[in-house]
Copies of this chain bind each other. A is one copy, B any other.
């Protein structure tokens, strides 16, 4: 029954989080560094802190049409408090929405590990991984985007990772896979923002199981703005979409009352 927790110690007039007094963190340590502290247990180096900040901003928003803002706005239109609508947006973060960070990071971490185990170069590993995925008819997660042929967030995250000397084998492998996909498949499947974050957090030695968490922590800012805009600019229950939905269920029919009910 007794719990243990390494997060916060609560005593009268005294709050310790991961060893630090909260009043020492507030206004002295940038919030994204505090996020890193909460997850890793230690404050980040300056470069890792800056990278964490960049990751959060890269996830904030991608317009109204992705599942998370859409869900948040639809729920807001029911006339509910802001947290309920933001929570609905967060619920849509799943294997298909933001989920490529988690799976992509695991994939790349596994790839880098195999490079050592199998004694091969980054380019050779990329070739192997692409060949294997073609054989198994599986997509490599984190590549391709329905709108962007070169995602501006990826470009910026990778430039920053270079600048901050964070870029290592995982980012290099991601770039090699992108090149190999282009060459062997003949189609451009650029690294998308999920794939970029997957590679960056891998080079930062962060746990891939937190993949959805990083997306969530940045996205919640955009969701708050989306819900606030919905609540302040539009009426509840407004007609949001003209969905052209064809009914293809059973033909109209009569209920036959069951004999003895």
Given A28-B257, A87-B87, A243-B241, A224-B217 contact (CB < 8 Å): yes
Given A79-B97, A216-B220, A26-B61 contact (CB < 8 Å): no
Write out the residue numbers on chain B whose beta carbons fall within 8 Å of the beta carbon of A229: 5-7
> Are the CB atoms of A10 and B242 closer together than 8 Å?
no
Given A22-B153, A156-B23, A38-B221 contact (CB < 8 Å): yes
Given A80-B92, A94-B84, A224-B54 contact (CB < 8 Å): no
> Are the CB atoms of A57 and B13 closer together than 8 Å?
no
Report the minimum CB–CB distance from A215 to chain B (whole Å): 9
> Are the CB atoms of B9 and A63 closer together than 8 Å?
yes
| Most interface-central of A99, A220, A228, A246 (chain B CB within 10 A) | A220
Closest chain B residue, CB of each to CB of A46: B258
> Are the CB atoms of A79 and B91 closer together than 8 Å?
no
A148 to B17: give the CA distance in the assembly, Å: 16
Closest chain B residue, CB of each to CB of A56: B31
Write out the residue numbers on chain B whose beta carbons fall within 8 Å of the beta carbon of A14: 152
Write out the residue numbers on chain B whose beta carbons fall within 8 Å of the beta carbon of A94: 78-81, 83-84, 236
Say if the beta carbon of A88 comes within 8 Å of chain B.
Answer: yes
Closest chain B residue, CB of each to CB of A50: B27
Give this chain's copy count: 4
Closest chain B residue, CB of each to CB of A43: B255
Say if the beta carbon of A58 comes within 8 Å of chain B.
Answer: yes
Secondary structure at the A interface, as helix, strand, loop or mixed, is mixed
| Most interface-central of A78, A151, A229 (chain B CB within 10 A) | A78
> Are the CB atoms of A244 and B3 closer together than 8 Å?
yes
CB-contacts of A228-249 with B (<8 A)? 228-229, 231-233, 236-237, 239-249
Say if the beta carbon of A8 comes within 8 Å of chain B.
Answer: yes
Closest chain B residue, CB of each to CB of A256: B43
A80 to B99: give the CA distance in the assembly, Å: 10
Per-residue CB proximity of A109-152 to B under 8 Å, as 1/0? 00000000000000000000000000000000000001111111
Q: Pull 15 A–B residue pairs with CB atoms less than 8 Å apart, ordered by A.
A: A1-B241, A6-B250, A7-B63, A13-B148, A19-B249, A21-B152, A22-B60, A26-B160, A27-B50, A30-B31, A67-B77, A70-B241, A78-B99, A87-B91, A213-B224
